[in-house]
């Protein structure tokens, strides 16, 4: 608690404003909260919300293994993984259902999908218009990235005019 006060006071000295108006602390409860509020620095944690959002992956075996080795593999409370390994035995319907389940999950912030797999469910990806979870099409080992096939990139380019880049 003291280190939060010091950080807040240092920020206040830099901005020469009044700081550390509110400090509350409760301990040893599963819903513990610590709040420090000041004009310059706001810090709030809740131990029950300590986990961040997930990255979900729909890809070939090499892509999924790479991301899993990078540490993104998770199971939610319903024991559903945040990845789908697509091989020749996986149907387009299963890919679409997995994509829709990732889009509807509150714990997923980014969905990475191999571009050649995204082509199989382009209609579902184009129907997703929310910014979170963000859908990013990535290349695979055997299929290089083709910007002309990326509908999300096309949508992003449409948000700007050529005058924005001069």
7/41 Cα distance (integer angstroms): 8
First to last CA, the chain: 49
116/140 Cα distance (integer angstroms): 8
Provide DSSP, 30-63.
TT-EEEEE-SS-EEEEEGGG---PEEEEEE-HHH
Q: What is the mean pLDDT of residues 120-135?
A: 90
Residue 164 is predicted with a pLDDT of 54
Domains and CATH numbers, the chain: 2-49 (no CATH), 54-158 (3.40.50.10580)
Is the pLDDT reported for residue 151 higher than 70? yes
**At 88, is the pLDDT very low, low, confident or very high (cuts 50, 70, 90)?**
very high
Torsion of CA 154, 139, 112, 78, to 10 degrees: 140
Residue 120 is predicted with a pLDDT of 93
pTM to 2 decimal places: 0.62
Residue 163 is predicted with a pLDDT of 60
Instruction: Label residue 106 exposed, middle or buried (CB < 10 Å: 0-12, 13-18, 19+).
Output: exposed
What's the chain's length in residues?
166
């Amino acid at each position: 608690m003291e280190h939060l006060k010091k950080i807040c006071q240092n920020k206040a000295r830099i901005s020469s404003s009044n700081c550390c108006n509110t400090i509350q602390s409760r301990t040893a409860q599963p819903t513990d909260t610590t709040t420090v509020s000041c004009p310059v620095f706001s810090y709030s944690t809740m131990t029950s919300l300590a986990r961040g959002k997930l990255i979900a992956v729909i890809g070939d075996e090499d892509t999924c293994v790479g991301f899993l080795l990078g540490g993104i593999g998770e199971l939610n409370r319903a024991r559903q993984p945040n990845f789908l390994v697509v091989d020749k035995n996986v149907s387009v319907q299963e890919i679409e259902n997995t994509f829709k389940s990732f889009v509807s999950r509150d714990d997923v912030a980014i969905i990475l999908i191999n571009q050649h797999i995204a082509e199989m469910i382009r209609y579902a990806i184009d129907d997703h218009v929310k910014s979170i979870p963000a859908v990013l099409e990535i290349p695979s080992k055997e299929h290089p990235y083709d910007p002309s096939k990326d509908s999300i990139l096309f949508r992003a380019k449409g948000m700007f005019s050529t005058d924005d880049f001069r």
